[in-house]
Amino acid sequence: MSTLAVHDHGVLQHGEGHEHHHKATFLNTYVFSQDHKMIAKQFLITGITMAFIAMTLSILFRIQLAYPDKSFPLLETLLGRFAPGGRLSPDFYMSLVTIHGTIMVFFVLTAGLSGTFANLLIPLQIGARDMASPLVNMLSYWFFLTASIIMLSAFFVEKGPASGGWTIYPPLSAMPKAMPGSGMGMTLWLISMVCFIASSLMGGINYVSTVLNMRTKGMDLWKMPLTVWALFLTAILGVLAFPVLVAGVVLLIFDRSFGTSFYLSDIVLNGQVQPYEGGSPILFQHLFWFLGHPEVYIVIMPAMGISSEVMSVNSRKPIFGYHAMVYSLIGITVLSFIVWGHHMFVTGMNPFLGGVFMITTLIIAVPSAVKTFNWLATLWRGNIRFTPAMLFAIGMVSFFISGGLTGIFLGNAALDINLHDTYFVVAHFHLVMGSAAIFGMLAGVYHWFPKMFRRMMDERLGYLHFWITFIGAYLVFFPMHFMGLDGVPRRYYALTEFPAFNRWLTVNVFITWAAIMSGFAQVAFLINFVYSIFWGKKTVQNPWNANTLEWDAPIEHVHGNWIGEIPTVYRWPYDYSKPGHEEDFIPQTVPFSQTMSSNLPHDFEDNPAGLAEYNKWVVLNKANEEVK
């Protein structure tokens, strides 16, 4: 009740003061905006830019892998000393791999995905005027942008960007002499990550408090769409896990710059005995993966939420097992904190601990399986509309299955002995969290584009984009499983030094061309995205005939989302194709009293007055029919 009072107050203020107090200038509308819808767009566009950069990096190192002996003079022209003689230098190759991973995991799939959709959807779908703290929300974006710029600036320092892999295990990352990228590049990486985590925390705290405190009248937790549930739990995960990485990173900064030995011990570098003593490199791995593993769920859960919503809307069917979907998300959230050790089976961690982590890891497969089956059941007997968003959601499920199943191999400590750090792992996580999450994100972009930009994207270009990307991603990652099963390690600059790996060279060429093909398919997306922002077809109020609250808000963006009172919510968001109702959707704002013919006893589970009304209506209706 108290929150409602606050809302009303807010309405009043906005209603009166909008025109007089703060004039909308270019600067406060598009740059330093505190409006969650604009911040969402800022996150999205920054995220897409970072995604294109990271994708280009991956194409560069894929070219090296496919043609290790060939020289491309153009590369020297473009990259200078990083590609002497037209071939990438091994150190720069490592930098590319490192920065590709970092950007994709953190800047695209954490900030780009959560940042965009939590900002856009949480206030709109729960019926709030804005985030709990718009200022902190704005800061969250600006910290993110700062982090992005610092991360990319590492390409302009003398020795190149960080190159110890995105996991930056010390001592490699701790000693500037261990490799060129561990100098200034690593310092920038660490500063960038601290900014990034600050951004992520500010965002996360905002999302959690908004969901908990600012829901509109009638919107109890069990009436929230799965997108909001997923984004809410993701934010909780981020708030609890990211600080641990800050701790790890700060200790690493101490080791690098202030002569401490948190992670270092017994080191002889280039024949020189180093003065470090008493630290443990394993400690960093524990700290890193305590974030790192929840991080992969931070990446995939919003994609799950978006796919659930998109699949339900476009199958014209309620999401199957809404409660089970929520409970499995909660299960994943909780379990994800106790599985980090499966990244460390062969690092010298106590084998008994390995056994324990194996058990918890395989338990987390159960909620994941439940989610998958529920998605399949949602499609079953649906009336499926193939919008590009729907195709991307289906693609997300397909990737999640393919990549998730190989997780059962890797989560098994005994099998991990031989699969650890091979291409099998690369294939696994690129499918299950890379491709699946990016497909979830693209599904979201196609689905909520009209909400963000008030125009529609071109469907046919979307189809083209989907099919090339979908097929391309499978062509890239499927063969990698078998490379891994042959013991081909990841992060190898070239396979030429091993005669046994020569036979994989043709496969590498194939993968590279598949990657280039999917890379070019993104141009279809870019053209579609940019064109539609300015010249796309204007959207109607509710283009997908969806139930959720955001489609009730006016098309023209207003500060405060709704003109006048925020609508009240009466029902869950998945009343699609309810028998007895003419249309195949009933928005959340429609009270049961207006849909007597389609109500079910189940709708009144904790509403005795409503149930009494319903029973009365049933009796009356029966009597009426008998009269007829």
Partner 1 sequence: MAFKKLINSKKILSLFAVFLLSGTNLLMAQSTDVAASGNSKAGHSSDWFSVGYYLLLFFFAILCVATLGKILKVYDLSVKMQGKKGINWNNIMALLCAVFLVVGLYGAYWSLTVQGSMTLPVSASEHGVAIDNMFTVTSILTLIVFVLTQILLFGFAFIYRASDKRKAYFLPHNNTIEKVWTVIPAVVLTILVVFGFFTWQKVMDISSKKGDINIDVTGHQFAWELRYPGTDGKLGKVDYKLVTGLNKLGVDYSDRNSFDDLQADTLVLPVNKTIRLNIHAQDVIHSVYLPQFRVQMNAVPGLPTFFKFVPTITTADMRIKTDNPKFEYTLYCNKICGGSHYNMQKVVRVVSEEEYQEWIAKQKPYLSDQLKADLKIAEIKPSVSGQISSNKLALNN
Site for partner 1 in 312-331 (CB under 8 A): 315-324
To partner 1, the closest distance from the beta carbon of 244 in angstroms equals 20
Chosen residue from 84, 218, 240, 459 binding partner 1 by CB under 8 A: 459
372 binds partner 1 (CB under 8 A): yes
CA distances from 175 to 153, 180, 185, 548 (A): 21, 10, 12, 52
Question: What is the CA angle 53-106-327, rounded to 5?
Answer: 135
Q: Which is nearer to partner 1, 75 or 445 (CB)?
A: 75
Q: Which is nearer to partner 1, 111 or 419 (CB)?
A: 419
Residues within window 577-606 making contact with partner 1, judged by CB under 8 A: 577-579, 584, 602
Residues within window 405-434 making contact with partner 1, judged by CB under 8 A: 405-406, 408-409, 412-415, 417-418, 420-422
Q: Which is nearer to partner 1, 120 or 480 (CB)?
A: 480
Sign of the CA dihedral 312, 114, 359, 429? positive
Q: Which pair of tokens denotes residue 492?
A: 């190898």
171 binds partner 1 (CB under 8 A): yes
Q: Which is nearer to partner 1, 258 or 627 (CB)?
A: 258
Q: Which is nearer to partner 1, 146 or 167 (CB)?
A: 167
Q: Which residues are registered as beta bridge partners of 489? A: 422
To partner 1, the closest distance from the beta carbon of 510 in angstroms equals 10
Chosen residue from 111, 147, 162, 172 binding partner 1 by CB under 8 A: 172
Q: Convert residues 542-581 into a mask of x (bound to partner 1 by CB under 8 A) and - (unbound).
A: --------------------------------x-xxxx--
Q: Which is nearer to partner 1, 174 or 301 (CB)?
A: 174
Q: Convert residues 89-108 into a mask of x (bound to partner 1 by CB under 8 A) and - (unbound).
A: xxx--x--------------
d(CA 239, CA 241): 6
To partner 1, the closest distance from the beta carbon of 465 in angstroms equals 11
Q: Which pair of tokens denotes residue 154?
A: 């590492």
| Binding range to partner 1, per CB under 8 A, among 35-43, 117-125, 353-361, 563-571 | 353-361
List of residues 6+ apart from 612 with CB closer than 8 A: none
Chosen residue from 145, 326, 471, 509 binding partner 1 by CB under 8 A: 471
Q: Please work out the total of residues on this chain that contact partner 1, with binding judged by CB under 8 A.
A: 135
165 binds partner 1 (CB under 8 A): yes
Chosen residue from 4, 31, 250, 376 binding partner 1 by CB under 8 A: 376
Residues within window 252-311 making contact with partner 1, judged by CB under 8 A: 259-261, 264-271, 273, 275-277, 279-282
From the list 1, 10, 2, the residue with the least C-alpha distance to 561 is: 10
CB 88 within 8 A of CB 100: no
Q: Which is nearer to partner 1, 437 or 511 (CB)?
A: 511
146 binds partner 1 (CB under 8 A): no
Chosen residue from 330, 338, 384, 505 binding partner 1 by CB under 8 A: 384
Residue type at position 267:
I
From the list 477, 411, 490, the residue with the least C-alpha distance to 438 is: 477
| Binding range to partner 1, per CB under 8 A, among 213-221, 499-507, 552-560, 562-570 | 499-507
**Farthest CA pair distance, the chain:** 100
Q: Which pair of tokens denotes residue 440?
A: 């979830």
To partner 1, the closest distance from the beta carbon of 204 in angstroms equals 30
| Binding range to partner 1, per CB under 8 A, among 127-135, 183-191, 197-205, 466-474 | 466-474
Burial annotation 24-44 (CB, 10 A radius, 16+ → b, else e): eeeeeeeeebbbbbbbbbbbb
| Binding range to partner 1, per CB under 8 A, among 54-62, 244-252, 391-399, 558-566 | 391-399
d(CA 315, CA 576): 9
CB 373 within 8 A of CB 405: no
Q: Which pair of tokens denotes residue 520?
A: 């070019």
Q: Which is nearer to partner 1, 600 or 620 (CB)?
A: 600
SS3 221: helix
What's the full length of the chain, in residues? 628
Q: Convert residues 42-81 into a mask of x (bound to partner 1 by CB under 8 A) and - (unbound).
A: ------------------------------xxx-xx----
d(CA 429, CA 420): 12
d(CA 38, CA 107): 18
Q: Which is nearer to partner 1, 144 or 493 (CB)?
A: 493
To partner 1, the closest distance from the beta carbon of 137 in angstroms equals 34
SS3 269: strand
Q: Look-up: residue for tokens 């061309």? A: 513
Residues within window 503-522 making contact with partner 1, judged by CB under 8 A: 503-504, 507, 520
Q: Which is nearer to partner 1, 31 or 376 (CB)?
A: 376
Task: Judge residue 295's burial from the number of C-beta atoms within 10 Å of its C-beta, 0-12 exposed, 13-18 middle, 19 or more buried.
Answer: buried
Chosen residue from 145, 346, 456, 509 binding partner 1 by CB under 8 A: 346
467 binds partner 1 (CB under 8 A): yes
SS3 22: coil
Helix (H) or strand (E) holding 529: helix 505-535
To partner 1, the closest distance from the beta carbon of 598 in angstroms equals 9
Q: Which is nearer to partner 1, 273 or 609 (CB)?
A: 273
Omega cis (within 30) before 161:
no
Q: Which is nearer to partner 1, 184 or 214 (CB)?
A: 184
Sign of the CA dihedral 144, 149, 154, 157? negative
Q: Which pair of tokens denotes residue 416?
A: 């991990």
